[in-house]
Amino acid sequence: MQSKVESHDSVSSREPIALSVNKPLASLGLTIAYRSYPAFKKVVLDKDHPQVTLDDGQYFQLTALGDASASLWLSTPKMSTFVVQGLTDSGKALYSNGNNTRSFPSDGDIAAMRDFYKALLQTKDDLDRFKTSQAVQQRLEHLVSNLSTQAGPLKNTEADYQFEATPQRIVIHVLDPMEDNTAVINEVHNVLAEQTRYIARDRKTDHYGFIDQAGQWLIKPRWVELHDSVVADIYTLFTLEKSSDPQSDMQELRSQLAYFPAASNKLVYLPFENITQTLDDGLLLVERETNGPYGLYDARNHRFTLPMKFVNPTVTGNVFIARLGKKTYAMEGLYGAYTLAGKEILPPQFSDIEQSGGYLYTHSADRSRQDVFDLEGKRINLQGYNVIGRFFGEQPLLVRDAKSKKFAFINRQGTLLPIKLPYDEVEPFSNGMAVVGRDHSYGAIDLTGTLQIPLEYNRINSFQTRYAAAVPAGGGSGLVLISQNNKQVKKLGSYTSLKVPDNSNEARYYVNDPSNPDESLVYDADGNLVRNEE
């Protein structure tokens, strides 16, 4: 069905246009008719330039200016309109308190009227020459047409304007006669494929329902709002219900999700209120109600792959991590990990689980153990060793024996590596270097365990791509950048704070500005000054 809308009235872009149709539109063509001024001339008058004459004979004169008023003489085209504006010396428009205008014919108009009067007298004397009333009418029409060609094209006007203050100059806009215009918007075709059913609003009740392709009601209007959801063939239905507050007479807008089974026009309501996230293969992360439990729903086959008994869920790749519970704000239940198909990877017995780089890192319920598992649920670290940090690239993972407190590194198969670590403190590898310490002195080893940075610093931060920020022994809070072979690259100064992520080059070092104690200098990981910061 096509539709055309024509209007000669002013239409706001915010006002909807009602189309008198009761069937789905295949396309829509819109034609807008309007009137507008095609052009204008601008004339400026002031005390130094009180007169202007244009090439076509238009004439403008400022005859008086003072006492918050202005008087004008204008000769403008008869069908035109003029607008007068008073301006201050700075160009500000002055409020107009009103005006008086008087129009009168030009000398040419008066002469033409006299000729017309003479022609009318002559016609009266010659009436006996006209045989019919039609002949008389034709004669008068001829005289009128001649009058319009003999009269001048301009009209004369005297105008007096009152302003809130005396203007410094007068601006006159002479607008050409308004013209009829038509704007045609190209026909817009419905981008949706033909549907089995459509959402429709009943104008009488202002409620929504569903219609078929012929425009007949499949489900009569009963909802105050009805929307497509983020998932095809699932709809959000809104109704007004009495407030749950027994002291209130107000009504609340309630929503419900529903779908149509295949080859059916009967709605089936879904047992959840919110679709939190759409996943691949038609899977949905859904929530029963606000602050309620979550589950995974297969929208293609309309079944749950994981029941709604979880809270605080995260979905990454093919892994669903959540804890058992009924309310998001209640600290109950433990975390487990599951595939999106519903298979358990890790049972719900952990205080938290984090997925990173194809592995699952866990804390035990009492937070005394940290382990790493692959996505099949196999533990990588040996029994009795706690994990510190994360696998990153080809770097080994730091672990610590829970009994002996000895540090070690393992590869991705969980094998202990022959790296000797005779240190009190060891940090995970960052960009190929691991900070180590003994007796509160710090250095760094490479991936082979070789001590590349001797234990001669009070502090060393995680290595960035090129350098690490360190505090030399006896250096107070003075920060320097050192390379992986212990070359001092740059002195930064007395630091106030640091932001040093592992395995990146995004560090920021905040040091005192020696020239201004109220400001800090901010350096990047390579020692470049980024900005001053108050």
Report yes or no on 361 lying in a domain.
no
Report yes or no on 486 lying in a domain.
yes
Same domain, 27 and 151: no
For 226-259, the pLDDT digits (tens) are 999 888 889 999 999 887 777 777 888 899 999 9
Percent share of the chain, pLDDT over 90: 65
pTM comes to 0.64
Same domain, 448 and 503: yes
Report yes or no on 408 lying in a domain.
no
- Residue 390: its pLDDT value, please? 97
CA distance 300 to 117: 89
Q: Which of 189-198, 299-308, 514-523 has the highest mean pLDDT?
A: 299-308
Give the CA angle between residues 127, 132, 135 to the nearest 5°.
Answer: 75
- Residue 260: its pLDDT value, please? 94
Same domain, 8 and 20: yes
For 470-504, the pLDDT digits (tens) are 999 976 668 999 999 999 999 999 999 999 999 99
CA distance 477 to 110: 99
Report yes or no on 367 lying in a domain.
no
Report yes or no on 252 lying in a domain.
no
Where does the pLDDT of residue 188 fall: very low under 50, low under 70, confident under 90, or very high at 90 and above?
Answer: confident
Q: How much is the average pLDDT of 8-32?
A: 68
Q: Which of 28-42, 238-252, 511-525 has the highest mean pLDDT?
A: 511-525
- Residue 6: its pLDDT value, please? 45
Least confident of 160-169, 175-184, 448-457: 175-184
Same domain, 82 and 166: yes
Where does the pLDDT of residue 5 fall: very low under 50, low under 70, confident under 90, or very high at 90 and above?
Answer: very low
Report yes or no on 272 lying in a domain.
no
Q: Final residue of a domain: which of 181, 212, 247? A: 181
Report yes or no on 241 lying in a domain.
no
95, pLDDT greater than 60: yes
Where does the pLDDT of residue 216 fall: very low under 50, low under 70, confident under 90, or very high at 90 and above?
Answer: very high
- Residue 132: its pLDDT value, please? 80
- Residue 468: its pLDDT value, please? 98
- Residue 123: its pLDDT value, please? 76
Least confident of 22-31, 195-204, 487-496: 22-31
Where does the pLDDT of residue 1 fall: very low under 50, low under 70, confident under 90, or very high at 90 and above?
Answer: very low
Where does the pLDDT of residue 4 fall: very low under 50, low under 70, confident under 90, or very high at 90 and above?
Answer: very low
Report yes or no on 77 lying in a domain.
yes
Looking up residue 486, the CATH number of its domain turns out to be 2.40.128
7, pLDDT greater than 50: no
CA distance 82 to 72: 12
- Residue 487: its pLDDT value, please? 96
For 130-174, the pLDDT digits (tens) are 778 887 888 788 777 766 666 778 889 999 999 999 999 999 999
Same domain, 143 and 11: no
pLDDT averaged over every residue in the chain? 89
218, pLDDT greater than 80: yes
DSSP assignment of 131-191 equals -SHHHHHHHHHHHHHHHHHHS-SEEEEEEEEEESS--SEEEEEEEPPPEEEEEEEEEEEP-
Percent share of the chain, pLDDT over 70: 93
- Residue 534: its pLDDT value, please? 47
Q: Final residue of a domain: which of 117, 147, 181? A: 181
Same domain, 472 and 493: yes
339, pLDDT greater than 60: yes
Structural domain including 513 reads 426-533
Same domain, 100 and 135: yes
Q: Final residue of a domain: which of 159, 181, 203? A: 181
Where does the pLDDT of residue 13 fall: very low under 50, low under 70, confident under 90, or very high at 90 and above?
Answer: low
Contacts of 39 (CB under 8 A, 6+ apart): 175, 176
220, pLDDT greater than 80: yes
Same domain, 511 and 430: yes
- Residue 159: its pLDDT value, please? 92
Same domain, 14 and 72: no
CA distance 354 to 321: 8
CA distance 200 to 212: 10
Same domain, 155 and 29: no
Query: In terms of C-beta density within 10 A (0-12 exposed, 13-18 middle, 19 or more buried), how is residue 321 classed?
Result: buried
184, pLDDT greater than 80: yes
Q: How much is the average pLDDT of 351-371?
A: 96
Same domain, 47 and 177: yes
Give the CA angle between residues 496, 502, 507 to the nearest 5°.
Answer: 40
Structural domain total, the chain: 3
- Residue 403: its pLDDT value, please? 95
- Residue 148: its pLDDT value, please? 62
- Residue 8: its pLDDT value, please? 45
For 313-331, the pLDDT digits (tens) are 999 999 999 999 999 998 8
SS (H, E, C) 201-231: EECCCCEEEEECCCCCEEEEEEECEEEECCC
The torsion angle over the Cα atoms of residues 209, 211, 217 and 220, rounded to 10 degrees, is -10
How many other CB atoms are found less than 10 A from the CB of residue 293? Answer: 21
- Residue 309: its pLDDT value, please? 97
Same domain, 169 and 46: yes
CA distance 227 to 222: 13
